[in-house]
Amino acid sequence: MKFAHMADCHIGGWREPKLRALGYSAFEQAVDRCISEEVDFVIIAGDLFNTALPAVEGLKIVVTKFRELQLAGIPIYLIAGSHDYSPAGKSMIEVLEQTGLFVNVSKGEEVEGKLRLKFTTDSKTGVKLTGILGKRAGLDKKIYEQLDFGALENEKGGKIFLFHNLLTEFKTKELEKADSSPVSLLPKGFDYYAGGHVHIVEKRDFEGRKNVVYPGPLFPNSFSELEELKKGGFYVVELGDDVKMERVELEIKKVVNVSVDVDKMDVGVAEKKVREALEVEVSDSVVLLRVRGVLESGRGSDIKFREMFKDLYEKGAYFVMKNIVKLESKEFEAIKVEQGSVDEVEDRLVKEHLGQIQIEGDEEGMVKGLMNALSSEKFDGEKNADYENRIREEVKKII
């Protein structure tokens, strides 16, 4: 069989319209490649969308491309990720599944106190798929602990398991404080383990669990990811007696990294050094400017970044971003800014303040659920009263 393994599409994830458009383009190109490769099916291991109730713009793109796959006879199998999932039970994944555009393979029932997952059989290849959805703050770990491993491992035939969490064995230095689960929580004996959630590109084999794979995001979702990855992608996998994997890279725009150290410089010298560093080819590129160091005199806000950005756009730059988190001054007290992804910063802040009030049950899960519900955007054409009532109902279900 031949299939595509995607994850972490995060449709609609960027706030900046130009970068959000690049995310859309990456998704469209990925689907086009799947059709041209004539894959048997497509797997999406969570976080198709960046929120449980995405904007209409991104929703229209997804439905259009999924329809193209359907017309090409290529089924889609997916699970909800931590961004797709809604504690209130309202998710666009559930709505779209009713249209028949894809199959959510994370299904099961309780049998004698254990969670028995159901398999979805692909009609063309006969492979059986199942998996576990992803939840924020590692709350999906409880689901794995309730699994009926015997039923999963004793199932005959070719099998693929979809999961959306960070496995401890894949932790990097940057992820050392992130919630994770050991690989031992995955059932043994599957032919392929399609991972998502953590934005790394890696394949590893473990005893009883071969082909554990993270494909990375379809398009980088933060400044640091753009710096490190520069582009997203996915895997095309041929599974038979041997496993053949091709990494399909999606370079939507060239990324130009400019990093400048201005430590112990006065602001005038620092600005000159930054300007000189920006004398690079930027035509139709995403330009990332990172400035760090402790200024001997002056402050970061004195550097004329706006003028520099104007010059870059006149030279044809597609989009320009700067990161001055580590730019400080001796003359002024440095403002400390938490680093990391939005999810990581949220997790740290929530955990720092747990226990200040008495709440029965899972306080962290409740806080995360409330944050997700209260960040829900108003639908196009939705009246203010209807929007407020919808938010109230979601909050009531959570608490």
Q: Catalytic site residues?
A: 83
Give the closest residue to 188 by CA, choosing from 142, 155, 232: 155
Strand boundaries in 54-157, DSSP class E: 76-79, 103-104, 108-111, 114-117, 120-121, 128-131
Confirm if 47 and 81 have CB atoms less than 8 A apart: yes
State whether the Cα torsion 272-277-279-285 is positive or negative.
negative
At residue 242, what are phi and psi to the nearest 5 degrees? -120, 165
Give the closest residue to 161 by CA, choosing from 171, 151, 170: 151
Residue type, 3: F
Tokens of 14: 């960027």
- H or E segment to which residue 161 belongs: strand 159-164
State whether the Cα torsion 101-106-110-112 is positive or negative.
positive
Confirm if 373 and 87 have CB atoms less than 8 A apart: yes
Strand boundaries in 176-253, DSSP class E: 192-196, 201-206, 209-215, 232-239, 243-250
The Cα–Cα gap between 12 and 49 comes to 7
The Cα–Cα gap between 259 and 290 comes to 5
Confirm if 278 and 308 have CB atoms less than 8 A apart: yes
Confirm if 66 and 102 have CB atoms less than 8 A apart: yes
Residue type, 230: K
At residue 74, what are phi and psi to the nearest 5 degrees? -115, 105
Helices and strands in the chain, H and E counts: 11, 18
At residue 77, what are phi and psi to the nearest 5 degrees? -120, 130
Please name every residue paired with 96 in a beta bridge, in sequence order, or none if there are none: none
